Amino acid sequence: MTSAISEQQFASGFLHLLHTNTPVFSATHTTSQSRGPVTLTKMPAPKRKRTDAGLGSSADAAAAAGSKRTFAKLTLKSIKAPKFTHTYAPLAVDAQYTVLDLKQRAIDENLVSAGSELRFLLKGKVLKDSGLVADLGDEGAELMITVLVTAGAAATSPVATPAEEEKKEAISLTVDEPVWAQIGQVLDNAYGSEKAAKVLEKLKASYQA
């Protein structure tokens, strides 16, 4: 019949067994080189946390999407004066390309004058200048952007030409009585004395007004 041992006796016996099986090396002990290097067991790489899109992080998502987005076709169409239709096929834009950059490109390519103010609309919605063109559609999409052009240059007063200056100066000249007498004579020969006098009075009044 086996007698039961206490937990304390079992622990003491187990520790004694460990002590007697532990090798003791001298201070001058060396390991044989023939055994070769000790290789640790390769541990499996930890699994990366995946997002709903199946990518490890937003940085991975950006890298996977690439730094550019290419549209199969992007058309700028002005439906009011100045009317134009211009198509980029294809158009590749980087991630930082804004709507304002696209407007500047339209000006640089002389689609509109430099002093014009532009509004871009996509499906009836006005696009903000700070918006990214890459966000307007998926890779390979075809976009039609409506362009509204407004003249932005302030109106300036026209500069008088030399001919206009001479005309103003001529009008400001005073007509002497001898000249009026000659005019009256012409009127008298054409209409008679009574009617000529009335016409001459009206001419003088309108001239001096």
pLDDT in tens, 100-110: 999 999 999 99
pLDDT of 142 higher than 70: yes
Domain-embedded: residue 40: no
Which domain range does residue 198 map to?
175-208
Same-domain status, 73 and 131: yes
Same-domain status, 109 and 183: no
Phi first, then psi: give them for residue 135, nearest 5 degrees: -85, -5
CA 42 – CA 69 distance, rounded (Å): 41
Same-domain status, 110 and 186: no
Same-domain status, 139 and 91: yes
- For residue 184, the model assigns a pLDDT of 82
Report pLDDT digits (tens) over 20-60: 655 655 656 565 655 556 566 666 666 655 444 333 444 44
Report pLDDT digits (tens) over 55-80: 344 444 444 445 788 999 999 999 88
- For residue 33, the model assigns a pLDDT of 58
Give the total number of structural domains in the chain: 2
Domain-embedded: residue 131: yes
Domain-embedded: residue 12: no
Does residue 130 contact residue 99 with C-beta atoms inside 8 Å? yes
Query: How many alpha carbons fall within 13 Å on the CB side of residue 1?
Result: 2
Q: List the alpha helices (DSSP H) in 22-125.
A: 58-65, 99-108
Same-domain status, 69 and 145: yes
The pair of structure tokens assigned to 191 is 């209409």
pTM: 0.42
Domain-embedded: residue 186: yes
Q: Which among 122, 125, 112 is positioned nearest to 142, based on CA atoms?
A: 122
